[in-house]
Structures are given as C-alpha cells and as structure tokens.
Structure 1
Amino acid sequence: MSEAASIRVAQADSTALLPSLVPLLHEWLPRQRWFAGKGQPITGFSLVSATEMLPVDAPSVTAGSGAGLLHLLVRAHQPAAPARWPADCYQLLLGVRAALPPPLAPALIGRPANGPLAGRAVYEGLHDPRLAALLLERLRTPGALGALRFGRGGAPVAAGPAPRVLDTEQSNTSLVYGDAYILKIFRRVFPGTNPDLELPLALAREGCGRVPAPVAWFESIAPEPLTLGVLQPYLRDAEDGWQLALRALARGHDFTEEAHALGRATAEVHTALAAALPTPVLRPAQTAHLAAGMVRRLDAAARAVPALVPYVPGLRAAFDAVALLGDRGHDRAAQRIHGDLHLGQTLRAADGFWSLIDFEGEPARPLAERRRPQPPVRDVAGMLRSFDYAARSHRPWNAEWAARCRTAYCEGYAEAAGVDPRSEPELLRAHETDKAVYEVLYEARHRPDWLPVPMAAIHRLAAVSD
C-alpha cells in the first residue's frame, strides 16, 4: 500500500471513520481484558494515528471474498484520569470484511451504521489468520508504513508459520507463529521504548542467553515514538515456571533444585543488565524517596482495602527502616531490572535451562517509572512472593516448601552474583512488603477469592516489622 493511501485513511478517520466506530468501541473496548479503565465510563475517543495496512476498499473486500486491516491508535477519555496525564492510548488492529465467516463470528466488534465502513463487519483482526499472517510478513521487511515503522534484528524472519492467538494474556495479546515465533502486541501503549524491547536487546548485545533476543519489532513514529509489538523466538519445548511449581506441589515433590537454578538465572540477567546499561547509586535522598513511595502505595491500598488498616503501623515500620538507612548515609546500587518477576515470567527447557521473559514491568505503573534503575533485590522479592503464592494455592498450605524454595533461590542467586540478597534485610523486606501490598490491592479488585493469599503475607510481614 502506498503512503498516500495511508494518509487517506488518516484523513477519513479524522472526519468520518472514528465517529462511526465510536458506538462500537463504547460497547466493545471495556469488555477486553487488557482495557485498564474498567469501572469508569468512557466519555469520548480521540485519534492518535491511523494506518491502512491492507486496503479496506480493495475489490476483493467489497466483493466479500477478502479482508482489509486498519491499524488505529486511539485515546479513551475517562473522567477519573488525572488531569496531568493524557488519556490512555490503545492499539487496535481492526479487520474489515463485507461478510464475516462463521469461525470469526466471536471476533465481531460490530457493523458501523454510517461512515466509510457502513454496513461492513469490523472485527478483532488478530483473530483472522490471514491478517495475522500479513503482520508477520510485514515484520520480515524493515521500513515505514504510514505512522508505523518496522525494525528487525540481525537474523532474517522465516515466512509461512501458521498463526494462533494465545488465550492466556491479560494486559497484551500474543500471537504464536507455528513453533517458530511469538509476537507480543502491546494494547495499552506509552510514549518511549517499552522495556520488553529495550532490555532484551541490551541483553542480546551483552551475550546473555537467558532471555530470547528480539527478532523484529514495530513502533509508531508519529506523533511520538511508541513501542507496539515485539517478535521473539518461541521456546516451544519450555514449561512455565508457575505450572512446574504447582505440579511439584501436587505430587509432593521438592522444588529446591529448580529454585536454586532459577536464582542463578536471575543473577546472570542482573549481572548482564548492569554491564549493558548505567548503574547509578541511590543516594540518601533517593533512598528516602523510595521509602516514601512505598508508604504512599500502602496508604492508598489501605483506603481501598479496609482489611489492610490494622496492619498499617507494622508494615510502615519496614519502609521506615529503609528511610533510616538513607538517614545514616548508606548508598545503594541501582540498575535496570525485570520489574515484575515471578514464576509465571520464567520458562524452563527440558534440559533444566531457565529463561526469563516479559520485561514489560508492572503495566499499571507509568513507563518512566518502569524504566527507572532500581535495587535488584526488588526482583528477588517478587520471586520470593511467587514461591509463597504457589505454596498457598495448594491444599494443604505447605509453609516448609515455600521456605525451602526461598532459601534455595537466594543461595543460587548469591553463587552467581557474588552478593547474597539477604545481606540487605531491610531493603529486601521492604520490597517484599511493597509487593504484598500491591497483591492485596490487585486481588481485592480482580480476584477476591485469592485475597487470603497476600493477606497471610501481610500478617507475617507486619509482625516481623514490629
């Protein structure tokens, strides 16, 4: 498609296309798992960019035998959004057909009543194998297309693997192409380079094999850079660390060998990130700022979840201990980290080799915060909480299993890093407490039946801090 065609789509969207889609988006967008503004009304939509990736007015489309593909970046305006922040921006890949074949019926968004697509079926394009295959084909060739830019690593991208959508994603959408590649599509996008592209590229340059290196990616180039998707090798024979842990618990098996190896893998990634990217020192004022942020998150969570209120004094003591380190003039090393590390972000190959994946960080946090250097013990604390989650999801609760895994993980980390994360007990406990507070807020909002899991940790951590 020509650049002129892409421009025509953008002009049409600003005058007629987007208004015609608004009634459909009002109904469809809040139902998507990756929509971040649940519980608040959408007051309007505005266009960021529009690109016609496959012509929607091609003869095959109008005749009913083909499909068009529109790429839209759209802001959803909501009254609860802070005035200082722009409205959330979402990436939409919309298929357009005259008639939708039965296998694609669940992907239907609707039929606009007016505008340039009046009467045609508009649907979630990623569920259409023909359109998903087009996206991979476009990633094979670096270059620009309208507001989009496609980049590629050193190795060529193979053509032809059949696509399928993974149904396990929450904040993004992933496509698997045969057994060769996995393409993560970021749904809620932010200005700047997403860490899930930035950090794996840095690790690849450093020669770290613990993270699959990006093969290709695409981004928006107007009106500002936005990372939109990353293509990586698909580790088809690897198993999810969370499922491995649950299976070990169900069978009554020990998991310390796996935890020890995972600790080594984490340390290797941290060491490579420290070598590849700047490693500033947290001065006393920055340490105090770190502790103050934890206190603010605790206070906000306690206002939202009354069950936390009795524990606030004990939990705050953990954060005060970190602030006291700053008062005493203790400096702390900081670096780029994973940012949301848990068992579900790890994969183990048949030979026992562990890989770390999904470097996006916590999607609910601003991108600038996720890209900020932090103490590496934050990742360690996240994994310690994950062992606890796994153990408490099993009946009966196996406290010793979790304790052994936590110890083995820290020992493996220390062997590879040369530094034991338990040598900074105040910082480690504060980050574990901060993570547990986040978990309480998340479970209360999304999975109330799981709330007792982080609340058990809250009880333990508040007592430790007394």
Structure 2
Amino acid sequence: MVAWLVWNMTFLPVPPGDHAPFLAFLSPWMTRQRWFANKGANPALEQIGTVTLDSVEPDVEAVTHLVLDHTVGKPALYQVPLTYRREPLANFDALIGEFDGRWVYDAPYDSAYTGALLDAITHGTESRGDHVWAVGKRTASHVAAGLQSRVLTGEQSNTSIIFEHEGETPVICKVFRALHDGENPDVVLQTVLAQAGSTAVPPPVGHIVAEWDDRGEADGRATGHLAFAQEFLPGVQDAWRVALAAAAAGTDFSDEARTLGIATAGVHATLAANMPTSDITPDDIDSVIGSMHRRLADAIAAVPELTRFEPAIRDVFERASQAQWPAQQRIHGDYHLGQVLAVPDRGWVLVDFEGEPLRPMKERSRLDSPMRDIAGMLRSFDYVAGSLAVGGAVPSPEWVGSARAAFEAGYGAASGRDIRHSRTLVDAFELDKALYETVYEARNRPGWLSIPVDAIERLCARVAG
C-alpha cells in the first residue's frame, strides 16, 4: 500500500525564485565533498527543485535538493539531502552552517533524515515537492524496525548509509550523489539477479525513484534513482584486498581466481536469461570499435607518450572488428576486484553494478559484450602487481599470469565459452580499459600512471609477437 506524504507547505528552506543566497551558502561546502567532481573550481550552481521526506523527528525538515553545477563542460546534477533544525546539535560534526535562522546539516549523518529515507523505501512513500516527485519501492519481504544508522567512510561518488541493530540483518543504503536521466544499472541488475534466485549479489531491500525538471529532455522531465538499499555484509573484505595480500606474500591465487571466473559466468548467464539480449550486428561492432578509437584519441591527448603505441593499438582494434563476437547482453560494466566481496561460507558476491562512472547513464544501460567484464577483471589482476611495484615491492612475475589464466579457465568451464578462442576480442577490450585507466591516472594519480602504460606496451608487444 502506498503511503502518501503530507508536509507543511508554509516552510520552504529556499523560497522559489530566491535561491542565490542559499546556493552561495552551500557552494563552499559542496566543493570540499568527495563526491563533487569539479574540485578547485568555483561552482556555478542552479537549484532544479526540492523534495521533502517525512522526518521522524518533530521540528526537523529533511529536504533533498537537486543542484546543477555549470562550472565546466556538461552540467552535473547533484543530489544534496540536508536537514534543517531550529536548535544546533551538540557534538555533531556534520554541520554545514546556519542559514535563515536554521541550522543546516549534511543529512546522511542525521538520524532524522536516515530514518525518513529508510521509511520512504520500506513503506512506498510518495513525495511531491518543488518540481520533484519521488516514490519508494520496497523489494524485500521484511525490514527490521529500530535500525541505527551510520555513514560508511571511504565513499567517493556516492554516500552509503549503514542501518544496523544487534540481532537484525543490517542494511546498506547508497545515496546516489550524481544524478542522471535513466535507470541506474546498480538498482536494476541487482534486483533482477536477486529475484532470479542468484546468491552472487546481496538481496535488495528497495529503492527510491524520482522525476525532476530537465531542459535537455524532449518532454522537459528526467527520471532516475535517488537511493538503493540492500543487505549489508559486515566484516568482509573485497577481492582486491584478498588478492593484494596474496600477491604481497607470494601466495598463489589460482584457486580464488578460478572460482571468481565461475561466479562471473553465473552472473552473466542469469542476466542473459532474465534480461534482453541481441545478436550483434555490423553496425553494433562499428559503434563499439569507434568508441575505442575515440578513447585512444582522448588518452593520447592526456598522455602524449602513448603516440608510439598508436599504430599497434589501432591494429588490435581493426582485428577485433573482424573477429567473431558473442551476443550482446546486460553486464556489470565496471568490473574489477574492488567490486567483489569475499563472503565466508558463501563465496564471491558482486556489488556496484553502476558501470563506468564517466559514461552517461543511458549508455551504461545498453546491451554490451560480456568480454568487457572479462577484460576489466584481467586488468584488475595486473593492477594488483602494479600497485605493489609502485609501493616499492617486487611481486612475483608469475602471480598475475597464473591468476589471469585461472580466471579465464573458470569462466570458460562454467560458461562453455573458451576465452582463448576470443583472444583478439579480449585484447581489444583490455586495451580499451587500459586507455581509460591511463586518462584516470593522469588526472588523479600520476604516480600510478606507469601501471596502465606498461600494460599497453606489454599487450602491444604480445599481439605483435
């Protein structure tokens, strides 16, 4: 049953048409947040609209602001949930400041907001605000009451809130900070996998979907997800940390990599059985290869030393265009060891199906080749050894090769598709991923730039040989 949200329309933290003072107040704080992309720039902010959740505390307003940043390039839309209190909270670090007689807080740290957020999801609450409409959708059969919230540290592009209480199944709710028109694959794919009976993803609890004004859309409105809640798996490590520890100790990772390949094949098979697929056409291949060439051009612009590899890379892409391609389907899209959890007595569990964060949401929801996920994981094994080398360690030269081979063997055994017969295609996707990594490292971690550049050199040399 849908619960309708009613709130006092006489209170608006930011009166319609008078957003400039509020945005000037908010701007310095936004530039310091990890999820804000244009760090170091002076934001040019525009408020698109707001929606208010039914706060679990009296006299506290829990307001979600949709704020558009026009600083550079294509405008970026952010979800900025805030709480407004008449009295300041003692010993509370999430204070943004005082505005218009109210104390303003970063809402994910405030129980008044987190309680309202989880209630909106579990009760199917519908909210109509200033140019924004939102509704909760519950997918779990049961969610415990009385869960306490805390923010998970270390997030960058999103904010994750943990809900837990002794004796109850904990929940993690991801608040999407950067919003896009289109369904978020993280919500869609994990929900489909869980409903199909897959144990390779944490069971979803529910989500919030919203509509807002968007001048870039034909009908002037956009639709997307604001938040996604699912079971939280406490005290587990991701596969990156497990693999890193193994490589640092010189411990063979073949068994773990093989079972990871099996799990990956299982997820691909479930997605293919429960979501649309299509045989790839020449136009589809041309589109993918064209995007690879554009990525190469962007990478050379960012790292000119890649010019010496350009003929070899373009040759790999050309060979891939003539290869035999598998059917297109929904995939993970940004697959690496950090997106997999090692869960005792359960095995590998995949998370974070959002796809590459630099790609538009609609592109992330298109059918794609499962070889892209294979290549992403192969690159991740290489990053394990590369990160150790950057830190001054000397990883075993056999470690990466054995892990890669075992992952491919596990995937092939479970899927019936021998990756060795798709080597030309995998090489192209792996080079494409390394070019993506080169641009990322050049912009964010120059000290790690050698990892993808060295990989590009090795791949080109191997293909030429």
Provide the TM-score with structure 1 as the length reference.
Answer: 0.89
Equivalent in the alignment of 2:76? 88
Which of these residues, 447, 450, 453, is aligned with residue 451 of structure 2?
453
How much has 1:250 moved relative to structure 2? 2.6
Q: In 2, Cα distance between the equivalents of 1:356 and 1:3?
A: 35
Farther-moved stretch of structure 1 (143-152 vs 309-318)? 309-318
Which of these residues, 312, 315, 318, is aligned with residue 317 of structure 1?
315
Equivalent in the alignment of 2:102? 120
**1:72-151 paired onto structure 2 within 5 Å:** 72-81=65-74, 87-105=75-93, 107-112=94-99, 118-146=100-128, 147-151=133-137
How much has 1:254 moved relative to structure 2? 1.5
Equivalent in the alignment of 1:206? 196
In the alignment, structure 1 residue 361 sits paired with structure 2 residue 347: no
User: What is the one-letter code of the residue matched to 2:97?
Assistant: G
In the alignment, structure 1 residue 163 sits paired with structure 2 residue 149: yes
Q: Is the 8 A contact 1:54 1:70 kept in 2?
A: no
Which secondary structure does the structure 1 equivalent of 2:27 belong to?
helix
Q: Is the 8 A contact 2:277 2:330 kept in 1?
A: yes
Equivalent in the alignment of 1:377? 371
Gaps of 5+ in 2: 213-220
Farther-moved stretch of structure 1 (207-216 vs 227-236)? 207-216
Q: In 2, Cα distance between the equivalents of 1:273 and 1:290?
A: 21
Equivalent in the alignment of 2:341? 347
How much has 1:321 moved relative to structure 2? 1.2
Identity of aligned residues (%): 38
How much has 1:46 moved relative to structure 2? 3.0
How much has 1:310 moved relative to structure 2? 2.0
Equivalent in the alignment of 2:186? 196
Q: In 2, Cα distance between the equivalents of 1:352 and 1:405?
A: 21
Q: Is the 8 A contact 1:263 1:413 kept in 2?
A: yes
Count of aligned positions: 442
Q: In 2, Cα distance between the equivalents of 1:9 and 1:312?
A: 59
Q: In 2, Cα distance between the equivalents of 1:159 and 1:8?
A: 31
User: What is the one-letter code of the residue matched to 1:77?
Assistant: H
Q: In 1, Cα distance between the equivalents of 2:34 and 2:194?
A: 31
**1:421-440 paired onto structure 2 within 5 Å:** 421-440=419-438
Q: In 2, Cα distance between the equivalents of 1:358 and 1:13?
A: 37
**1:139-288 paired onto structure 2 within 5 Å:** 139-146=121-128, 147-178=133-164, 180-222=170-212, 223-288=221-286
How large is the RMSD of aligned CA atoms in angstroms? 2.2
Which secondary structure does the structure 1 equivalent of 2:147 belong to?
coil
Farther-moved stretch of structure 1 (170-179 vs 258-267)? 170-179
How much has 1:392 moved relative to structure 2? 1.8
Q: In 2, Cα distance between the equivalents of 1:279 and 1:243?
A: 34
Farther-moved stretch of structure 1 (409-418 vs 124-133)? 124-133
Provide the TM-score with structure 2 as the length reference.
Answer: 0.89
How much has 1:174 moved relative to structure 2? 0.5
How much has 1:419 moved relative to structure 2? 0.8
User: What is the one-letter code of the residue matched to 1:34?
Assistant: W
How much has 1:313 moved relative to structure 2? 1.9
How much has 1:136 moved relative to structure 2? 1.8
Q: Is the 8 A contact 2:50 2:66 kept in 1?
A: yes
Q: Is the 8 A contact 2:134 2:211 kept in 1?
A: yes
User: What is the one-letter code of the residue matched to 1:20?
Assistant: P
Closer, same or farther: CA 70–291 of 1 in aligned 2, 3 Å: same
Q: In 2, Cα distance between the equivalents of 1:5 and 1:21?
A: 21
Which secondary structure does the structure 2 equivalent of 1:111 belong to?
strand
Closer, same or farther: CA 240–79 of 1 in aligned 2, 3 Å: closer
User: What is the one-letter code of the residue matched to 2:22?
Assistant: L
User: What is the one-letter code of the residue matched to 1:337?
Assistant: I
Q: In 2, Cα distance between the equivalents of 1:350 and 1:331?
A: 36
Closer, same or farther: CA 74–10 of 1 in aligned 2, 3 Å: farther
Farther-moved stretch of structure 1 (212-221 vs 424-433)? 212-221
Q: In 2, Cα distance between the equivalents of 1:6 and 1:194?
A: 31
Farther-moved stretch of structure 1 (70-79 vs 259-268)? 70-79
User: What is the one-letter code of the residue matched to 2:141?
Assistant: A
Q: In 1, Cα distance between the equivalents of 2:121 and 2:228?
A: 10
Which secondary structure does the structure 1 equivalent of 2:354 belong to?
coil
Closer, same or farther: CA 435–412 of 1 in aligned 2, 3 Å: same
How much has 1:20 moved relative to structure 2? 2.5
Farther-moved stretch of structure 1 (3-12 vs 179-188)? 3-12
For each residue in 1:412-446, what CA deviation from the matched residue of structure 2 results, as whole angstroms up to 9, or x when unmatched? 11111111223211110000000001111101111
Gaps of 5+ in 1: 62-66, 82-86, 113-117
Which secondary structure does the structure 1 equivalent of 2:243 belong to?
helix
Closer, same or farther: CA 308–350 of 1 in aligned 2, 3 Å: same
Q: In 1, Cα distance between the equivalents of 2:5 and 2:235?
A: 41
Closer, same or farther: CA 199–128 of 1 in aligned 2, 3 Å: same
For each residue in 1:356-383, what CA deviation from the matched residue of structure 2 results, as whole angstroms up to 9, or x when unmatched? 1110011110111111111101001000
How much has 1:6 moved relative to structure 2? 6.5
For each residue in 1:103-136, what CA deviation from the matched residue of structure 2 results, as whole angstroms up to 9, or x when unmatched? 323x232333xxxxx1422221111234323322
Closer, same or farther: CA 212–13 of 1 in aligned 2, 3 Å: farther
Q: In 1, Cα distance between the equivalents of 2:419 and 2:195?
A: 26
Q: In 2, Cα distance between the equivalents of 1:331 and 1:381?
A: 14
